[in-house]
Amino acid sequence: MQRMRRLAAILIVSAFGAGLSAPALANDPAGLWLTEEGDAKIRVAKCGDAICGNITWLKEPTDNGRPKVDKNNADASKRSRPIIGVPIVLSMKPDGSKWSGQVYNAEDGKTYSGNITMAGNNALKLQGCVGGFICKTKTWTRTN
C-alpha cells in the first residue's frame, strides 16, 4: 500500500510539472517563419543554450540570374556568400519573457542588438535596436 501511495504521488507531481511546462512551449520560437514583408523564410532553432535563425528561402532568390549574395556585409570576406543560409538571428538567449541577442540585417550588412518576443503560437516580434534607443520591430508569421 505504501508503495502505491508513493507511485501515485510521483504521478501527480509529474502531471503537475508537465502542466507547468506547457506554457513554455507556447513561447518557443523554434520553427519556420515568414518575414513581415513575405520576402523570406527564416528557420529558428536551438543552438546550444540559445536560439539562432538562418534564411532558408527568398521570394526573389536571384539577382541578374545569379543567386543573391550578402553583398552589403561589413566583412568584405562574406560579401560573396549566398544569402540563403545566412544567419540573421544570432545567439539569442532567454531573458524573462523574451529572447535577447543580436540580429543581422542583410539589407544594410549591419548587426544590431535585438530580441524576440512571442505574440501567440503563430507570430513573433523581432526587434532590432541601435544604441538601445532607436528600435524597429517586425512581426513574423509561422509557416510551413
- Residue 9's pLDDT band, with cuts at 50, 70 and 90, is very low
**Is a pLDDT exceeding 90 seen at residue 8?**
no
Tell me if residue 131 falls in helix, strand or coil. coil
Task: Report residue 59 as a C-alpha cell.
Answer: 521570394
Q: Which residue has the higher pLDDT, 24 or 88?
A: 88
Give the model confidence (pLDDT) of 103-127 as tens digits. 999 999 999 999 999 999 999 999 9
User: What's the pTM?
Assistant: 0.80
Res. 21: pLDDT tops 80: no
Predicted local distance difference test score (pLDDT) of residue 132: 78
Helices (H), 1-139: 2-26
The Cα–Cα gap between 71 and 88 comes to: 15
* Domain ranges within the chain, ordered by starting residue: 27-142
Q: What is the pLDDT of residue 86?
A: 98
- Topology classification of domain 27-142: Lipocalin (2.40.128)
The count of residues in the chain is 144
Decide if pLDDT at 3 tops 90.
Answer: no
With beta carbons less than 8 A apart as the criterion, state whether 32 and 144 touch.
Answer: yes
Are 105 and 88 spatial neighbours (Cβ–Cβ below 8 Å)? yes
Given a contact cutoff of 8 angstroms between Cβ atoms, the answer to whether 43 and 35 are in contact is no
In this structure, are strands 50-58 and 40-47 parallel, antiparallel, or unpaired?
Answer: antiparallel
Whole-number pLDDT of residue 93: 97
What are the phi and psi torsion angles at 143 (to 5°)? -140, 180
